[in-house]
Amino acid sequence: MTTALMHRYANPARFLRIATVVLPWAAVAAGLLTAAGLYLSLFASPPDYQQGDTVRIMYIHVPAAWMSMFIYTSMAVAAAVGLVWKHPLADLYAKAAAPIGAGFTAVCLITGSLWGAPMWGTWWVWDARLTSVLILFFLYLGYMALVNAFDDPERGVKAGNVLLLVGIVNVPIIKFSVDWWNTLHQPASVVRMGGPTIDGSMLVPLLVMALAFKAYYIATVLLRIKSEIIQRKIQTLRLTQGDSGAVESGA
């Protein structure tokens, strides 16, 4: 019993040690990459021959979209690991990542509308791409609501894991929506057969912003996992303290 408890806390302790080392680097990288990315996106890149300066919205919209899909996929992987291997950190990861994923998806949707209004002539259409990304947003929100709906956090997390795995089909749908169906949203410009169809002067700001968002994500999710670990400790302490007066070191 004590070995199981120890095993439970050994991993988080090791994680915290790693996190303490990685966190400052990720934060600094995020800051520098964001500064460089903003400079490139707003100053040191040309307008598009067709879309003019609205193309600068792409430097926010596309990296946000990439992050929204990446984060959800990583959460689904964590859910699988949690269900199959029962690794304690896996569940914490998904809980920590969810709000960040939801945030990026919201940014993707809103910046998409701001881009579509002047270029397409509409703020929204129910084509396959936009609809599936909206579904992704609802999956994030649904996950967060589901996990918090249970009194027993373990059951909440398990229910959430199932939702994550069911919703994973949506990610390839998002990616291939513009190929499988005729949509208003244009086809892929970067990740496609035959290479990117973006001029180098625009590809660079895009990739720098994508890296900036990645670094930001790493820093933020590490902070959130740390927060979850502490919350678990609090819950454990409360439980053991509630039972008796004398409490041994349980962490």
Partner 1 sequence: MAQFLAMGGYAAFVWPAYGVAAVVLVALVAATLRGLREREATLKALEGMRPARRRSRRAEAPDLPPAQAKVSEG
Partner 2 sequence: MTRKKRRLYMLLLALLGLGTATALTLTAFQDNLVFFFSPSDLQTKGEQVKDRSFRLGGLVEDGSVRKLPDGVTVEFRVTDTQHTVGVSYRGQLPDLFREGQGVVAEGKLRPDGVFVAREVLAKHDENYMPPEVTDALKRAGQYKPADTRASAQ
Residues in contact with partner 1 by CB under 8 A are 38, 42-43, 47, 52-54, 56-57, 60-61, 64, 99-100, 103, 106-107, 110-111, 114-115, 117-118, 148, 216, 219-220, 223-224, 226-227, 230-231, 233-234, 237-238, 241-242, 245-247, 249, 251
Partner in contact with 169, chosen from partner 1, partner 2, none, beta carbon below 5 to 8 Å by kind: partner 2
CA-CA distance, 166 to 159, in Å (whole number)? 11
> Stretches 77-85, 101-109, 142-150, 229-237: which one binds partner 2 (CB under 8 A)?
77-85
Query: 37 to 56, contacts with partner 2 by CB under 8 A?
Result: 46-51, 55
Contact 108, 68 (CB under 8 A): yes
Residue with tokens 């918090």: 148
CA-CA distance, 201 to 23, in Å (whole number)? 31
Amino acid found at 246? A
Pick from 145, 149, 166, 230 the residue near partner 2 by CB under 8 A.
Answer: 166
Single out the residue of 207, 189, 214, 190 nearest to residue 40, CA to CA. Answer: 207
The length of the chain is 251
Residue with smaller CB distance to partner 2, 116 or 156 = 116
Residue with smaller CB distance to partner 1, 52 or 187 = 52
Single out the residue of 74, 91, 113, 104 nearest to residue 8, CA to CA. Answer: 91
CA-CA distance, 71 to 218, in Å (whole number)? 11
29 lies in the site for partner 2, by CB under 8 A: no
Partner in contact with 28, chosen from partner 1, partner 2, none, beta carbon below 5 to 8 Å by kind: none
Contact 65, 206 (CB under 8 A): no
Least Å distance between CB 80 and partner 2? Answer: 6
193 lies in the site for partner 2, by CB under 8 A: no
> Binding pattern to partner 2, positions 97-126, x when CB under 8 A?
---------------------xxxxx--xx
CA-CA distance, 24 to 84, in Å (whole number)? 32
Contact 217, 71 (CB under 8 A): yes
Least Å distance between CB 169 and partner 1? Answer: 26
Q: Under 8 Å CB-to-CB from 190, ≥6 apart: which residues?
A: 62, 196, 198, 203, 206
16 SS3 class: helix
Residue with smaller CB distance to partner 2, 206 or 225 = 206
Least Å distance between CB 195 and partner 1? Answer: 27
Contacts with partner 2, residue ranges (CB under 8 A): 46-51, 55, 58, 80, 83-85, 118-122, 125-128, 165-166, 168-169, 173, 180-184, 186-189, 192, 197-199, 201-202
